[in-house]
Amino acid sequence: MIDHFSAACDIVQSAGRVLVFTGAGVSTESGIPDFRGPDGLWSRVDPEDFTISRYLDNPELRERGWRMHLNGELWGARSEVKPNPAHDAIAELWKAGKLSGVVTQNIDGLHQEAGIPADQVAELHGNLRRSHCVDCREDWETVEVLAWVEAGEADPRCPRCGGIVKTNTVMFGESLPRNEWTTALIMASAADAILVVGSTLGVYPAADVVLDPARRGVPMVIVNLGRTEHDHLATVKLDEKAGAVLPPLVEQVLGR
Ligand code: NAD
Ligand code: ZN
């Protein structure tokens, strides 16, 4: 029988630079629900509610969104959400000079909080820490907007122009931030191996960042609980919890 763990370690170890690509599954052990896992958000809310046109047209939807942020039911714009051992292990790889970068679909900022500099993390779907006015583009820390909500503004408006306020995250129907996308492609082209953590690889175009090189033969390790849409492209698949498997993997790779 192949030892998948050792095979995964070999791929990461023998690569000069590794691209790490993460999805919601890297953050579930920090207490942030994923979308498509068994307790995922899609079991409780309608994915259609995450389209930009609905958000702009529907004040009740915005009110519900802010209320959920305030109650910590979405992804915690607040500081009590902390990186878990999976984020820490990825940061160790970065500190050891093993990574060409981290490309994430997550909006929680936990890779940076684990110690990876912001310019080494391409956030394909934006970040929840800040919010902006969709009309005049003025922006604020999201905690500031949440304070307005807490003070009674259920659907907070821009103090300058009255426009609708939205977190700096990408909803269905919006295009990806151009800089982050370009950075992600540069990081991918500099990598000779790929490590996917906690993603179904089912959201596009984000997943193409790793699927294109994998199809061209760049070795790809997938660490994900449950199946992904592209397990057949993985050189090695570890069907395990990221927080349990990444720390020993990184320890082995770095020879500690
Ligand atoms: P997804 O929800 O489609 O899939 C996550 C995958 O991770 C699932 O297969 C799940 O079984 C697996 N998983 C859950 N816990 C795990 C663990 N501890 N270890 C290993 N695997 C685990 O997530 P996705 O592919 O990232 O796509 C969903 C979209 O939702 C993304 O675009 C992202 O922007 C957004 N999102 C972000 C956050 C966040 O910022 N933390 C949370 C939820 C959703
Ligand atoms: Zn405004």
Q: Does ligand 1 have an atom closer than 6 angstroms to the CB of 100?
A: no
Whether residue 33 is predicted with pLDDT greater than 90 in this model: the reply is no
Whether 17 contacts 99, CB under 8 Å:
yes
Residues 83-111 have a mean pLDDT of 97
Whether residue 44 is predicted with pLDDT greater than 70 in this model: the reply is no
Q: pLDDT digit string (tens) for 205-220?
A: 999 999 999 999 999 9
CA 106 to ligand 2 center in whole angstroms: 26
Among the atoms of ligand 1, which is closest to the Cα of residue 223?
20
Q: pLDDT digit string (tens) for 178-201?
A: 999 999 999 999 999 999 999 999
Q: Which residue has the tokens 């930009």?
A: 52
Whether 224 contacts 241, CB under 8 Å:
no
Whether 224 contacts 197, CB under 8 Å:
yes
The pLDDT value given to residue 48? 78
Q: Does ligand 1 have an atom closer than 6 angstroms to the CB of 32?
A: yes
Residues 4-17 have a mean pLDDT of 97
The pLDDT value given to residue 210? 98
Q: pLDDT digit string (tens) for 60-76?
A: 999 999 998 888 776 65
Q: pLDDT digit string (tens) for 136-168?
A: 999 999 999 999 999 999 999 999 999 999 999
The helix or strand, by DSSP H or E, that contains position 245, with its residue range, turns out to be helix 242-253
Instruction: Quote the mean pLDDT of the chain.
Output: 93
> Domains in the chain, ordered, with CATH?
1-32+82-125+176-256 (3.40.50.1220), 33-80+127-169 (3.30.1600.10)
Assign 1 a pLDDT band (cuts: 50, 70, 90).
very low
